[in-house]
């Protein structure tokens, strides 16, 4: 854990809404161009090539369920909700597209805004069937989706509604969502790797029929939307469509579970980030990934 390195940031923004998922950070960044070691695309089991060393990310925010936020490296301090009487725990922190702010979202769907993150609405006043678990911003940052563990979708700002799994009997809960590059559709993924597509989001495959060693916790589309990666909590990576396999951290000894997979701008590599901000680069990924919002557990 990195508790000894944490520094609580100064309150720098006004709370906009009452207490308010595991949002996805921006996936585009510079890369080296040519993959260092690319395996054939397919459905790896997570036991493929691994990076030799994990490095502490140089730009990220770490949020706690109590609303505390710590900033590292180039990630600026914008504010926190730790001193507020929260009715429900914070479950996600999502940076804005320019990394000059972020949203905090609580399990009741209440939304807190900091920096240049705008408030477009929340579900804090609604009686939800299931808790909110994820948040994703639209490509232009002028809206966002909230998703509940049953796949219920709530839209705000310019985020359109394309459908949900709220009326379906799911085998496993929804754990993440991702927007298509044009924002005209989205994918939902369950903890067993089951994939649900809406709008212009294509279906390329899933791990729903596989016996996974550990649950799926994150997904990321390729830059052209022609495929996607799924990441398990042990760092296992599963590829579909034009998403290539460059390695995993399934064989790396770590006390912290994986939380995000962040592709490079070319899609020829990615970083796997765990819950303490350690990053593992693969393929063409070099240096630090884009600023990420991580949950401290």
- Residue burial 263-296, b: 16+ Cβ < 10 Å; e: rest: bbebbbbbbbbbbbbbbbbbbbbbebbbbbbbbb
Tell me, what's the pLDDT at 218? 97
CA distance 97 to 141: 6
- Please enumerate in sequence order all residues whose Cβ is within 8 A of that of 203, keeping only pairs 6 or more positions apart, or say none: 195, 197
CA distance 181 to 233: 25
Average pLDDT of span 163-168? 96
Among 154, 159, 161, 196, which Cα is nearest to 175's? 196
CA distance 297 to 290: 21
DSSP conformation class of 8? B
Tell me, what's the pLDDT at 292? 85
pLDDT digits 0-9 by tens, 85-134:
999 999 999 999 999 999 999 999 999 999 999 999 999 999 999 999 99
Domain extent listing, the chain: 14-295
pLDDT digits 0-9 by tens, 196-222:
999 999 999 999 999 999 999 999 999
pLDDT digits 0-9 by tens, 46-69:
333 344 356 666 688 999 999 999
Question: Does 6 score more than 50 pLDDT?
Answer: no
Alpha carbon 73 to its chain centroid, in Å, reads 19
262, 271 Cβ separation under 8 angstroms: yes
- Three-state DSSP at 257 gives coil
Question: Does 29 score more than 80 pLDDT?
Answer: no
Tell me, what's the pLDDT at 210? 95
Q: Which residue has the tokens 């796949």?
A: 151
| CA-based radius of gyration for the chain | 17
Q: Which CATH class is domain 14-295?
A: mainly beta
């Amino acid at each position: 854990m990195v508790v000894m390195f944490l520094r609580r940031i100064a309150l720098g923004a006004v709370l906009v809404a009452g207490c308010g998922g595991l949002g996805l950070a921006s996936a585009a960044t510079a890369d080296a161009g040519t993959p260092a070691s690319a395996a054939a695309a397919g459905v790896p089991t997570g036991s493929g090539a691994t990076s030799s060393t994990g490095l502490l990310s140089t730009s990220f925010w770490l949020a706690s369920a109590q609303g505390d936020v710590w900033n590292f490296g180039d990630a600026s301090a914008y504010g926190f909700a730790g001193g507020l009487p929260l009715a429900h725990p914070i479950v996600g922190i999502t940076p804005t597209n320019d990394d000059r702010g972020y949203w905090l979202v609580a399990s009741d769907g209440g939304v807190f805004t900091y920096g240049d993150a705008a408030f477009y609405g929340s579900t804090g006043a609604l009686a939800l069937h299931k808790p909110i678990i994820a948040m994703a911003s639209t490509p232009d940052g002028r809206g966002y989706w909230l998703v509940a563990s049953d796949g219920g979708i709530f839209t705000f700002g310019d985020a359109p509604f394309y459908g949900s799994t709220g009326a379906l009997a799911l085998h496993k809960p929804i754990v993440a969502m991702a927007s298509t590059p044009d924002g005209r559709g989205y994918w939902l993924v369950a903890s067993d790797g089951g994939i649900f597509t809406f709008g212009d989001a294509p279906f390329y495959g899933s791990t729903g029929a596989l016996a996974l060693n550990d649950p799926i916790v994150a997904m990321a589309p390729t830059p052209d939307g022609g495929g996607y990666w799924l990441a398990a909590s042990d760092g296992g990576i599963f590829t579909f469509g034009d998403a290539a396999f460059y390695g995993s951290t399934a064989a790396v000894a770590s006390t912290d579970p994986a939380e995000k997979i962040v592709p490079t701008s070319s899609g020829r590599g990615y970083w796997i980030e765990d819950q303490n901000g350690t990053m593992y680069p693969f393929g063409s990924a070099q240096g630090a990934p884009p600023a990420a919002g991580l949950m401290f557990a």
